[in-house]
Structure 1
Amino acid sequence: MSRIAEPLEDAIRSRHSIRRFLPTPVPREQILHLLDLAACAPSGVNTQPWHVYVLTGESRQKLTDALLAEFANPSFERRGEYDYYPAQWTEPYRARRRDTGQRLYSLLGIEKGDNARMQEQWARNYAFFDAPVGLIFTLDRVLGQGSLIDYGAFLQTLMIAARGAGLDTCVQAAFTEYHPVIRAQLQIPEAQMVLCGMSLGHADPDAPENRLVLPRIPASGFTQFRD
């Protein structure tokens, strides 16, 4: 059996969501190089449906401030641009979701029912988990649902490329609930849908939340061969 090149397999297996970053800057040339690699992802009839807004420095902080202001505003209507999660959770997905939360909060020392600290942790999404680079991804509304498959390939390629460069990421659907704020801050046209965001940078090796590595079901658990 032919083996995958070891550096590539290491990048794939070591990628996991990072929720606290160091302030170490990432050069603009490196960001562009990673996005060039991500753009090698396939797309139906080569539509290449991705639009990317890269935020650093003052622009990143301004968006964070605007998002956190609305996060603290009880009258703000949080509504995503599309249904990322199911309206009703069923098994086995409910159990996996619960397990993820329990593992994360355990690492952070957040006890069950401590809603204030849970909300505080959730709010860190909108600070890009302190990453020096924040990315917002959008998709032209005129495109069909198949472009979401293409976008997934683009995002995964970007995350693997980042790992290969010694960087880390966290892709975040949490941003879509605040799409009016993001649209206003970044002057995103209405013709584009806010899909998600991503934090990019160097992981803080001392952060307990960065030890969260979730279990994966082996291929034998979800694959059926028809010989």
Structure 2
Amino acid sequence: MDVSTAVAQRISTRAFKPDALSEADVREWLTAAQRAPSGGNVQPWRVIVVSGDAKDAVIAKAAEVLKDSPAGQPTDRAIYPKDLWEPHEARRRRVGEMMYEALEIPRSDRAAKLAWFANNYRFFGAPAAVFIVIDERMGHGQWGHTGMYMQTLALLAEERGWGTCMQECWGILRPMLKEHFGLGETEMVWCAMAVGVPDPDHKVNSLRAERADLDEIAELKGF
């Protein structure tokens, strides 16, 4: 598979087959991703990969916390900026509408929407999940480099016939995750990534989020 194909076909996979990923395959995938770009070769990322009982333990802990605190735990790093402005807020709303349309969940059915959203904290049934860890002392550049690492993981997963879903939603459970994984004093979980073999027959995997036209986001000068 070439890179252009991997980029074009990558989606946020939200339904997976139960097929397990072997430790050897996961290790090889992570090793390949170590060639991701890294300014100054700092390599600011660290990952914790869970599967089997370890994955089930995280799911159970999340359910326990969210039962008492549905909005999650306090965080000083919100998933989105407060009062997200246009056109970004419209794009965010639109992809949600498209997802529920694909799932045939009516706009007015709040209970069904919440029930579906809860699947985030079960990794959408993926057999494995990666937690992306970064040191809070890192600057904005290192956060960007960690994002490039995540993209590298996603594209290498496509090459292997796997799907991924980057899940910043786990950011509302950072205190719990810090304790659960025994992170260092200055370490934090940024987000998670569900990974596994996509279920091609599930309606949600038909969703392809819209992207802005090139002229909306690019200025080409001097050509």
TM-score, shorter chain, exceeding 0.5? yes
CA distance in 2, matches of 1:41, 1:162: 14
Q: Tell me, in whole angstroms, the C-alpha distance in 1 between the residues paired with 2:198 and 2:75.
A: 28
Gaps of 5+ in 1: 1-5
Q: Quick one: distance in 2 between partners of 1:75 and 1:163? A: 33
Partner of 1:216: 211
Matched, 1:161 2:163: no
Q: Give the distance between the partners of 1:62 and 1:174, measured in 2 at CA.
A: 18
Shift of 1:121: 1.3
Q: Does 1:64 align with 2:59?
A: yes
> Is 2:120 the partner of 1:125?
yes
Q: Is 1:151 matched up with 2:146? A: yes
Residue among 57, 63, 75 paired with 1:80: 75
SS in structure 2 opposite 1:169?
A: strand
Equivalent residue for 1:98, pick from 93, 97, 100:
93
User: Which residue number corresponds to residue 207 of structure 1?
Assistant: 202
Is 1:179 paired with 2:174? yes
Task: Name whichever of 163-172 and 182-191 sits farther off.
Answer: 182-191
What's the secondary structure of 1:22's corresponding residue? Answer: coil
Q: Is the 8 A contact 1:141 1:192 kept in 2?
A: yes
Q: CA deviation at 1:166?
A: 0.7
In 2, the alpha carbon distance for the partners of 1:76 and 1:158 equals 29
CA distance in 2: counterparts of 1:202 and 1:81, whole angstroms: 34
Q: Which deviates more from structure 2 when the two are superposed, residues 101-110 or residues 192-201?
A: 101-110
* Counterparts in 2 of 1:153 and 1:77: CA distance versus 1, 3 Å: closer
Residue 191 of structure 2: which of 186, 190, 196 is its match? 196
Greater CA deviation, 45-54 or 30-39? Answer: 30-39
Q: 1:104-159 CA deviation, whole Å, 9 max, x = no partner?
A: 11111211232222111111111111100011111012221211110111000110
Give me the whole-angstrom Cα distance separating, in 1, the residues matched to 2:89 and 2:71: 27
- Residue number in structure 2 paired with 1:3: none
Identity %: 29
TM-score when scaled to structure 2?
Answer: 0.94
User: Are the structure 2 counterparts of residues 110 and 91 from structure 1 closer, same or farther at C-alpha, using a change threshold of 3 Å?
Assistant: same
User: Distance in 2 between the 1:75 and 1:196 partners?
Assistant: 18
What is residue 38 of structure 1 aligned with on the other side?
A: 33
- Between the aligned partners of 1:26 and 1:97, the Cα distance in structure 2 is 32
Give secondary structure in 1 for the equivalent of 2:68.
coil
Following TM superposition, by how much is the alpha carbon of 1:167 offset from its aligned partner in structure 2, in angstroms?
Answer: 0.6
SS in 1 for 2:120: helix
Aligned to 2:4: 9
Distance 1:75 1:205, change over 3 A: closer
TM-score computed with the length of structure 1 as normaliser = 0.92
**Residue 18 of structure 2: aligned partner:** 23
Alignment root-mean-square deviation, CA: 1.6
Once the two structures are superposed, residues 35-78 of structure 1 have per-residue CA deviations (whole angstroms, 9 ceiling, x without a partner) of: 12221112221110111000010010010011012222247753
After the TM superposition, list the runs of 4 or more consecutive aligned residues in structure 1 that deviate by more than 6 angstroms.
Answer: none
Contiguous gaps of at least 5 residues in structure 2 = none
